[in-house]
Amino acid sequence: MHLEELFEKREKGQLELIAALMNASAEASLKEILLETDLSRSTLLKYIEELNLLAEEENFALNIHLNNDHVSLQMGHQVTKEDLIQLLLPFSVKIKILHYLYQKDEFTVQKLAQVLTISEATLHRQLAALNTSLAEFGLSIKNGRLRGEEHQIRYFYYQLYWLTIPKKEMAQEFSLQQFQGMIEAIKQFWAMDMSTTNQYKLALWFSITKQRIGLKHKEFKRIKQLMQPYSNHRFFQQVRQQMLRYLSRYALEVEEEETMCQFIFITTMSILSPHVMERKLGYGGPVSHATTKGLKFIRAIVPLGENLNEQALYTLNQMLGQLYFFKGALIDRSYSLESDLALIGNAMALEHADLAQEMIEEVMKDIYLSKIGQLGDLLNKSRWRIMEVLSFVIYQNPQQFQIGVALAGSETKCLPVLTVLRQQLEVNRLVTLEWWDSSQSFDFVISNVYNESYPVPYYYLKGAPNAFDIQQLEEIINEHLTLPQ
């Protein structure tokens, strides 16, 4: 499911307009943008006017300039993707419905229509459209309730809030501080550190768990089937005991399936560290078998004498774990834009992109015994991530970089982005890029860690490196180089 599907026609078009401008040249022609967005001239001009007015009213750092049939985008350096979503979020009836169901669990058409101040006919149309989008998750809204497998419902809400709530607001929005004790207990139990981003991810999942743990009529049939190979798994038993102690504070009787929900999240969403997950691989199970098969594909492009990087194995295992336990994905445009894919692929000179698709197809058919068609957009997401693993395997010898670069995610996810930035920006011998380190001195920071600020000027990437980001960064670098010493 593309995130834009949850917005109204106007807001969806405005998001597509912004995305088109971010991936266009510094000043694109109006004709180019019309072709990219498939909007009429009058509609495009109306959207530009309304966006500029909304940004001005909300004191939001965004402006679209139209000059002699050329269009350019200006956006604040600290604006994030979530900020853009939040600007248009109040107009989304579908997201309001989903949020109401998250809080109330059930509704009547009359009551919900009153809350949303829309007609019942409009509500029925919105529900029908939502059900079409939710189908890839195996979910539907029927008889006043969101129905489907419980782990899929939580997985969907986790993605929805992770993509739409700015990280700088998430702690307050979901009272994440209340879960800090549990997070510290997990860190101590597994003897590992945990990044701020992962602590936010885990706290958000615990918040969703707390919201739903006391509900009746939860469906656990599918997760029990998926967990059968792990029922006597020593690693699962360790997680189970820890989670039973934690969840008992929120319910007098904790269903066994609740511990399963926690297990599949912390073992597939890059929460536990590579050295912890390495122990899990030794206990077998479908995901372990799939990882072994994935390694055979990687060995096709890596000489037998070379050791595989631990991070590559870890990322591969996490993605294959998601393919086993979940279906569907809520994704932003980064995964669907061919220009993004071409930018990463060309920059990494990836000659084996088809291996990612082949790997997924064989794992689904031979090990998971499932049809690839049921994955929905999780197929696009997983193919992208496995391409990143393959890119990393080929280019795992890092160069020396300049300018502080702070990127969220695993090394396999960050290296392609870092490589693109270096190839696009390191055009002057005075300019280099290197990993951000708070103990070192930098003149500038490029970051996608949206909940962090820095003691020097910084710029937030708006997504995968795109033409807009590169153009903005080139201007900043050129301005810096021309400053008097």
For the residues 302-312, what does the mean pLDDT come to? 67
Report yes or no on 315 lying in a domain: yes
Q: Could you tell me the pLDDT band of residue 406, with boundaries at 50, 70 and 90?
A: very high
**One domain, residues 346 and 430:** no
Report the predicted TM-score, pTM, of the whole model to 2 decimal places: 0.84
For the residues 212-230, what does the mean pLDDT come to? 93
pLDDT at residue 376 in the model: 93
Q: Report how far Cα 126 is from the mean position of its chain's Cα atoms.
A: 25
**One domain, residues 133 and 5:** yes
| Digit-coded pLDDT (tens) for 314-340 | 999 999 999 999 999 998 865 444 555
* Close Cβ partners of 256 (under 8 Å, ≥ 6 residues apart): none
More confident residue, 154 or 175: 154
Summary count for the chain: helices (H), strands (E):
22, 9
Asked whether the predicted pLDDT for residue 410 surpasses 80, the reply is yes
**One domain, residues 180 and 250:** yes
User: In 10 A of CB 282, how many CB atoms?
Assistant: 9
Q: Could you tell me the pLDDT band of residue 398, with boundaries at 50, 70 and 90?
A: very low
pLDDT at residue 241 in the model: 87
For the residues 32-59, what does the mean pLDDT come to? 94
Last residue of a domain, one of 240, 271, 302: 271
pLDDT at residue 13 in the model: 92
Q: Specify the DSSP class assigned to residue 331.
A: B
More confident residue, 18 or 428: 18
- The answer to whether residues 318 and 312 touch, using CB atoms and an 8 Å cutoff, is no
Phi, psi angle pair for 65, to nearest 5°: -100, 135
Residue span of the structural domain in which 243 resides: 148-271
**One domain, residues 347 and 389:** yes
- Among 87, 69, 101, which Cα is nearest to 14's? 87
Report yes or no on 4 lying in a domain: yes
Last residue of a domain, one of 345, 363, 394: 394
For the residues 214-223, what does the mean pLDDT come to? 92
More confident residue, 53 or 167: 53
CATH number for the domain spanning 125: value is 1.10.10.10
**One domain, residues 123 and 209:** no
| Digit-coded pLDDT (tens) for 428-478 | 666 788 899 999 989 899 999 998 999 999 999 988 888 899 999 988 887
Lowest mean pLDDT across 111-120, 171-180, 267-276: 171-180
**One domain, residues 18 and 123:** yes
| Digit-coded pLDDT (tens) for 135-145 | 999 999 999 99
Q: Specify the DSSP class assigned to residue 2.
A: B
Report yes or no on 279 lying in a domain: no
**One domain, residues 140 and 166:** no
d(C-alpha 438, C-alpha 454), whole Å:
9
d(C-alpha 371, C-alpha 132), whole Å:
20
**One domain, residues 448 and 461:** yes
**One domain, residues 8 and 139:** yes
Indicate the number of domains in the chain.
Answer: 4
pLDDT at residue 344 in the model: 55
* Average confidence score pLDDT of the chain: 87
**One domain, residues 61 and 136:** yes
Q: Strand 140-142 vs strand 145-147: parallel, antiparallel, or unpaired?
A: antiparallel
Q: Report how far Cα 378 is from the mean position of its chain's Cα atoms.
A: 11
CATH number for the domain spanning 472: value is 3.40.50
Asked whether the predicted pLDDT for residue 172 surpasses 60, the reply is yes
For the residues 380-397, what does the mean pLDDT come to? 79
Last residue of a domain, one of 227, 249, 271: 271
- The answer to whether residues 423 and 431 touch, using CB atoms and an 8 Å cutoff, is no
Q: Could you tell me the pLDDT band of residue 360, with boundaries at 50, 70 and 90?
A: very high
pLDDT at residue 337 in the model: 47
**One domain, residues 65 and 11:** yes
Report yes or no on 280 lying in a domain: no
Share of the chain above pLDDT 90, in %: 54
Report yes or no on 87 lying in a domain: no
pLDDT at residue 301 in the model: 73
Report yes or no on 378 lying in a domain: yes
- The answer to whether residues 93 and 8 touch, using CB atoms and an 8 Å cutoff, is yes
pLDDT at residue 335 in the model: 44
**One domain, residues 377 and 420:** no
For the record, the structure tokens of 214 come out as 């006391």
pLDDT at residue 429 in the model: 62
Report yes or no on 277 lying in a domain: no
